[in-house]
């Protein structure tokens, strides 16, 4: 791993950030050359303070040695923005990471980021896993952040069908965070890759995660937000996706749920509302025929007392406006409103913005 040490020495240099490192290598071409010239001082370059050259740690620095050893032990590697296997989509974003530490292999194909709250509803967790499985079966690479909740469900869905998935971490790739995702962590290495711009040994600090989110969206053609509360980090991922010129999708939810705030807000702002894998594949530019119909879990239509049963029978995954349902069901607006509210509370219906409804995923 001797070739790794020059990169690590530069990355561990206090005050040498991404921009400075980028300009440094573009000027000197190799980290070894930059280190050699540092003895006499670096020239004036964007992002470089004049005293940085004197702050470079030696190869024996504890942090440098630890990072090198950890990467070697787990069979990981360093991928730089100048390497041919650096993800092309990531290279195109405004602020790409200069260095990526990886374990596993970058899958080829169209990638979709699936993100959301760490505290999802049972519906959100199950629907995320189902969608991810259906999409991965159609060849889509599922990208997320290995956090608990929606992230974990997205990775699990891809793994269920033998699909491919990437996990972008806000810590070193040697760190299993959160600890309960240890099994997922190991499976992802086998069916995709772990990725981080932070060197091995790095802690999962709060300040790391916004930067991690830009990589998640940057790797992908589109970002799908499942459930997300008002302060969810997944909304930051959606913002990055828009800044990067990528598509944003969201799964609408009932207005009575805190975790519906984020998706519903994004839809109001112009995100694609999606409720099934076929819609997502169309947005990604992948044909409907890519989906194996047998992979779908069809919702069970419960036997409810009338007139609730008749109203539910009118609902599917195509949004229906309450005005349409009023006429078709022969009910007054007040009667229909009461029934829809009850169906929504029971999980049999989902209210979308604009007075529209679709069938929920609750089953017996």
**Alpha helices per DSSP H over 207-358:** 208-218, 234-243, 261-268, 277-284, 308-313, 322-329, 333-346
β 320-321/356-359 pair status: antiparallel
Residues 6+ apart with CB under 8 A from 248: 222, 223, 225, 238, 241, 242, 266, 270, 271, 272
Asked whether the beta carbons of 259 and 229 are under 8 A apart, the reply is yes
Q: Could you count the other beta carbons within 10 Å of the beta carbon of residue 231?
A: 11
Q: In what order do the strands lie in the sheet with 356-359?
A: 320-321, 356-359, 349-352
- How far is the C-alpha of 259 from the C-alpha of 69, rounded, in Å? 41
Q: Which CATH number fits domain 308-359: 1.10.10.10, 3.40.50.920, 1.20.120.160, 1.20.1250.20?
A: 1.10.10.10
Structure tokens at 72: 């070697």
Backbone angles phi, psi at 357, to 5 degrees: -135, 150
pLDDT, tens digit, 9 for 90 and up, residues 166-187: 999 999 999 999 999 999 999 9
- The alpha carbon of 12 is separated from its chain's Cα centroid by a whole number of angstroms, namely 28
Would you list the DSSP string of 209-227? HHHHHHHHHHTSSEEEE-S
- How far is the C-alpha of 286 from the C-alpha of 293, rounded, in Å? 15
Would you list the DSSP string of 124-191? HHHHHHHHHHHHHHTTPEEEE---TTHHHHHHHHHHHTT--EEEE-SS-TT--SSGGGHHHHHHHHHH
Instruction: Label residue 285 left, alpha or beta by phi (over 0 means left) and psi (-120 to 50 means alpha).
Output: left
Nearest to 355 by CA among 254, 239, 281: 254
Q: Please give the share of the chain, as a percent, with pLDDT higher than 90.
A: 69
pLDDT bucket at 208, cuts 50 / 70 / 90? very high
Nearest to 128 by CA among 288, 254, 297, 316: 297
Nearest to 74 by CA among 46, 104, 111, 30: 104
* Alpha-carbon dihedral sign for residues 141, 145, 148, 150: negative
Q: What is the mean pLDDT of the chain?
A: 89
CATH architecture of the domain formed by 104-295: 3-Layer(aba) Sandwich (3.40)
- How far is the C-alpha of 271 from the C-alpha of 277, rounded, in Å? 16
Nearest to 199 by CA among 84, 93, 77, 95: 77
Instruction: Taking each helix axis as running N to C, give the angle between helix 122-137 and helix 277-284, from 0 to 180 degrees, rounded to the nearest 10.
Output: 50
Average confidence (pLDDT) over 191-200: 96
Instruction: Label residue 47 left, alpha or beta by phi (over 0 means left) and psi (-120 to 50 means alpha).
Output: left
pLDDT of 299 over the 60 cut: no
Average confidence (pLDDT) over 68-85: 94
Predicted local confidence at residue 104, as pLDDT: 94
Predicted local confidence at residue 2, as pLDDT: 65
Structure tokens at 153: 């469900």
Kindly report the pTM of this predicted structure.
0.79
pLDDT of 363 over the 50 cut: no
pLDDT, tens digit, 9 for 90 and up, residues 226-273: 999 999 999 999 999 999 999 999 999 988 889 999 999 999 999 999
Predicted local confidence at residue 318, as pLDDT: 66
| Angle ∠(121,126,132) on CA atoms, nearest 5 | 125
pLDDT bucket at 159, cuts 50 / 70 / 90? very high
């Amino acid at each position: 791993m001797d070739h790794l040490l020059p990169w690590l020495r530069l990355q561990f240099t206090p005050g040498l950030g991404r921009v400075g490192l980028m300009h440094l290598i573009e000027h000197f071409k190799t980290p070894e050359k930059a280190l050699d010239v540092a003895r006499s001082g670096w020239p004036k370059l964007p992002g470089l303070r004049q005293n940085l050259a004197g702050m470079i740690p030696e190869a024996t620095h504890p942090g440098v040695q630890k990072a090198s050893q950890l990467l070697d032990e787990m069979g990981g590697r360093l991928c730089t923005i100048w390497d041919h296997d650096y993800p092309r989509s990531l290279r195109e974003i405004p602020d790409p990471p200069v260095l990526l530490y990886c374990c596993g292999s970058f899958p080829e194909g169209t990638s979709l980021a699936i993100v959301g709250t760490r505290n999802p509803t049972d519906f959100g967790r199950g629907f995320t896993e189902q969608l991810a499985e259906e999409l991965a079966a159609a060849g889509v690479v599922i990208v997320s952040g290995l956090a608990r909740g929606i992230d974990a469900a997205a990775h699990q869905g891809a793994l269920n069908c033998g699909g491919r998935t990437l996990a972008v971490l806000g810590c070193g790739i040697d760190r299993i965070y959160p600890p309960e995702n240890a099994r997922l962590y190991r499976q992802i290495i086998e069916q995709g890759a772990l990725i981080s711009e932070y060197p091995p040994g790095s802690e999962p600090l709060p300040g790391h995660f916004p930067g991690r989110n830009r990589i998640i969206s940057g790797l992908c053609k589109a970002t799908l937000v499942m459930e997300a509360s008002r302060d969810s980090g997944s909304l930051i991922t959606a913002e990055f996706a828009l800044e990067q010129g990528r598509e944003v999708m969201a799964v609408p939810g009932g207005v009575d749920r805190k975790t519906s705030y984020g998706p519903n807000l994004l839809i109001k702002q112009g995100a694609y509302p999606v409720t099934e894998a076929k819609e997502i594949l169309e947005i990604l530019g992948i044909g409907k025929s890519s989906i194996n119909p047998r992979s779908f879990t069809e919702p069970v239509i419960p036997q409810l007392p009338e007139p609730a049963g008749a109203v539910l029978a009118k609902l599917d995954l195509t949004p229906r406006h309450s005005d349409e349902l009023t006429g078709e069901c022969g009910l007054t607006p007040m009667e229909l409103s009461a029934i829809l509210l009850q169906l929504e509370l029971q999980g049999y219906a989902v209210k979308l913005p604009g007075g529209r409804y679709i069938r929920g995923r609750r089953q017996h």
